Chains A and B, each alone.
Chain A
Amino acid sequence: MNFPIKLKDKTVYCKELSVKHYKEILKAIYGDEPSEEVFVETITDIIKQLVNEDLKPVVDELSIIDTFLVLLRLRINSMGDTTTIILKSNKKEATLELRLDWIEKELSEFNNSICNKTLEYENIKFKFNAPSCKRLLSKTDTDYLYFLEELHISEEKSLKIKTNEEAKKVFDRLPIKGSITFIKYFNEFLDKLQEINFLKQYNSFSKEVLGFVPNIQSVIWFTKLIFNESIETFYNNIYYLCQISHFNPEYIESCTPGEYIFFSKKLEQTIAERAANRTSRNTVTNTGELPTGLNEFVDKSTNNT
């Protein structure tokens, strides 16, 4: 099934995420400090596999915000529009069903209102936009340089800025008033960014803040939030789906994550029913982890033979 994802100036048609892609995402965000390069390569590669051929070159040019919006929409379409999070405040814990479609809406509105803007100073036009993931991989001390996407002089002459070094060279040659025009807008962008709070619509949590920063670390953090199954649990589930429910691993990888979750829950129910019918001390946990005493099943099958 293909579905549209509306970005600021384009609509991208995507196929559904598969379990194979889901696995790659979980691997890319695994650990305390996932590699930014690996994450960016993995996500852009996955998106390229899911879009039409003619849109593949566009994927590398997507801004970090657009990339996250695509990821968010893929997650919503394949696994639903909520995720459960636990908020801790003053030694208290509370569970929240976080609406991902609300996050998508707020971030989209922010993106549309402040990003991809053309600023003018005399006969110079600057295109201000959130940087692409690849641009963010090369670091710079001066944050606003990331956001210079293109420069036009007198309508005919233009330069697409591909690296931060190019942005620096251009900036150094600009008249100061031109630079100030750009930097002032960047400061407005930062002010608006601080207003983002994905928790403000939840009355019980209105004092908490869940903001967004357009950098790779922030997107990795949010990816962990929206794809919050541990890789160990995932591998366990695949193993038991194959072992107990006799699924073919290639088939599972071709399913959508939604289907995989459905099958995992079914497996969970089946095992719970079996366990209830036997005198067993093993239990099934809510995370879908299966009993470690699998030998019981093996023994049963051996006895049958």
Chain B
Amino acid sequence: MTPEDAARFREGTDELFAALVTLHSPRLLSVALRLTGDRAAAHDLVHNAWVQAFYRRAQFAGAGSFLGWMLTVMRSCYLDLSRAGARRRARDDAFARDPLRDDRVVHAEGGAGELPTDEGLLAAIAELTDRQRDVITLRVIDGRSIAETAEQLGIAAGTVKATQSQALGRMRSLLRK
């Protein structure tokens, strides 16, 4: 996002929000589906995430990845959903529809599996610094090269590599807790 677009975002410009919703909703919906396991709940989650993004738009610095910032906003909304019990109901429904999908239940209960859940990964991403989260989003989630990431963030390629290493190390330690 350019600095000009970031300024328009913080102002809440209709056209820019419409463009961002069209551009990012499909991927946010994919992540929301992995979190909730239910299509209707995923739509609700993404919907609330956009509303919260509107209210929190002043918090977006604008220098990094907008998708990374939206993921932290969506995770915050997901936590609210979880507390309300909606996630439990959606998971129960999904499990009832597909009893062979027991890996999600094992992970959520902290059972034999040590592999991270989507919830755990998003929680770890939310704990990163803004720069670390931007690098992880651009390098790993968006699949951009080091050069492209460096250009987007306005930093050196060496800084991207070092930040990437710090971020993944930090995520690893958070997920191992």
- Are both chains from one complex? no
Interface residues of A (CB under 8 A from B): none
